[in-house]
Amino acid sequence: MAKDDDPIALRAEIARLRDELEQAHTAAEDAAEEAARTARDLERAERELARHTHTGREMEQAMAQLHDQLRHSAAVQLELQTDQARSLTVEEELNITLEEMQLVIAELEAANIALRDANARLERRVTERTTALATANAGLVEAQARLSLALRAAEAGIWDWNIATGHMMWSDEYWKLHGLMPGEVIPSRESWLATILPEDRVLVEATLQTCLERHVLDFTMEYRIRHPGTGVRWLAARGRFLFDETGQPRRMIGLSIDTTERKEALQVLDALNHELAARVEAEVAGREAAQRTMFETQKLEALGQLTGGVAHDFNNLMTVVISALHLLGREPLNERQQRLLRRIQQASAQGAELTRRLLAFGRGQDLRPVTIPLPTHMQELRELLVHSLRENIEIAVICPEETWPVRADRGALELALLNLAVNARDAMPQGGSLTLSATNRQVPAAEAKLLGVPTGDYVELRITDTGTGMPEGVRQHAFEPFFTTKEPGKGTGLGLAQVYGFARQSGGLARIETRPDEGTSVILLLPRATDPALTEASAAPGGEPVLEPVSVLVVEDNAAVAESVTDMLGGMGHKVARASGMEPALEILASEAPIDVVLTDILLPSGRSGADVVRAVRRYRPQVPVVLTTGYGGEAISDPDLIGLPVVWKPYEPKTLATMLARALRSHPAEIQAAVSNAPPWEAPVA
Ligand SMILES: Nc1ncnc2c1ncn2[C@@H]1O[C@H](COP(=O)(O)OP(=O)(O)OP(=O)(O)O)[C@@H](O)[C@H]1O
Ligand SMILES: [Mg+2]
Highest mean pLDDT among 93-97, 433-437, 528-532: 433-437
Q: What is the 3-state secondary structure (H, E, C) of 304-331?
A: HHHHHHHHHHHHHHHHHHHHHHHHHHHC
Q: Does 510 or 90 have the greater pLDDT score?
A: 510
| Amino acid 50: pLDDT | 58
Q: Is the CB of 515 under 6 A from ligand 1?
A: no
Query: Rounded to whole angstroms, what are the CA distances from 300 to 174, 306, 340, 341, 449?
Result: 73, 10, 39, 38, 16
Q: Quote the ligand 2 centre to 507 CA distance (angstroms).
A: 22
Query: Over 70: is that where the pLDDT of 83 sits?
Result: no
Q: Quote the ligand 1 centre to 357 CA distance (angstroms).
A: 15
β-sheet bridge partners, residue 509: 525
| Amino acid 659: pLDDT | 84
Q: Quote the ligand 2 centre to 259 CA distance (angstroms).
A: 62
| Amino acid 685: pLDDT | 27
Q: Is 624 left (phi over 0), alpha (psi -120 to 50) or beta?
A: beta
Q: Quote the ligand 2 centre to 627 CA distance (angstroms).
A: 34
Q: What share of the chain is helix, strand, coil (3-state, %, to 5)?
A: 55, 15, 25
| Amino acid 538: pLDDT | 37
Q: What is the 3-state secondary structure (H, E, C) of 75-87?
A: HHHHHHHHHHHHH
Q: How confident is the model at residue 513 (pLDDT cuts 50, 70, 90)?
A: very high
Q: Is 245 left (phi over 0), alpha (psi -120 to 50) or beta?
A: alpha
Amino acid, single-letter form, for residue 196: I
Distance CA 482, CA 351 (A): 15
> Over the chain, what is the mean pLDDT?
83
Q: Does 410 or 426 have the greater pLDDT score?
A: 426
Q: Does 18 or 324 have the greater pLDDT score?
A: 324
Strands 370-372 and 406-408: antiparallel
Per-residue pLDDT tens digits for 637-674: 667 777 778 888 887 888 888 888 888 887 664 443 33
- Which ligand ends up closest to the CA of 483? 1
Contact 390, 425 (CB under 8 A): yes
Query: Rounded to whole angstroms, what are the CA distances from 428 to 390, 391, 465, 522, 601?
Result: 10, 11, 8, 15, 45
Per-residue pLDDT tens digits for 125-172: 888 888 988 998 999 899 888 888 888 888 899 999 999 898 999 999
**Whose C-alpha lies nearest to ligand 1, atom 8?**
423
Query: Over 80: is that where the pLDDT of 684 sits?
Result: no
Q: Report, in angstroms and rounded to the nearest whole number, the Rg of the chain calculated over CA atoms.
A: 60
Distance CA 132, CA 128 (A): 6
Per-residue pLDDT tens digits for 602-615: 888 888 888 999 99
Query: Over 90: is that where the pLDDT of 522 sits?
Result: yes
Q: Is the CB of 354 under 6 A from ligand 1?
A: no
Query: Over 70: is that where the pLDDT of 77 sits?
Result: no
| Amino acid 543: pLDDT | 42
DSSP letter at 196? B
Mean pLDDT of 422-442: 95
Contact 367, 319 (CB under 8 A): no
| Amino acid 540: pLDDT | 38
Mean pLDDT of 281-308: 85
Query: Over 70: is that where the pLDDT of 57 sits?
Result: no
Mean pLDDT of 213-225: 89
Mean pLDDT of 282-311: 85
| Amino acid 53: pLDDT | 46
Minimum mean pLDDT among 2-11, 288-297, 557-566: which range? 2-11
Q: Is the CB of 468 under 6 A from ligand 1?
A: yes
Per-residue pLDDT tens digits for 481-490: 999 999 988 8
| Amino acid 670: pLDDT | 40
Q: How confident is the model at residue 426 (pLDDT cuts 50, 70, 90)?
A: very high
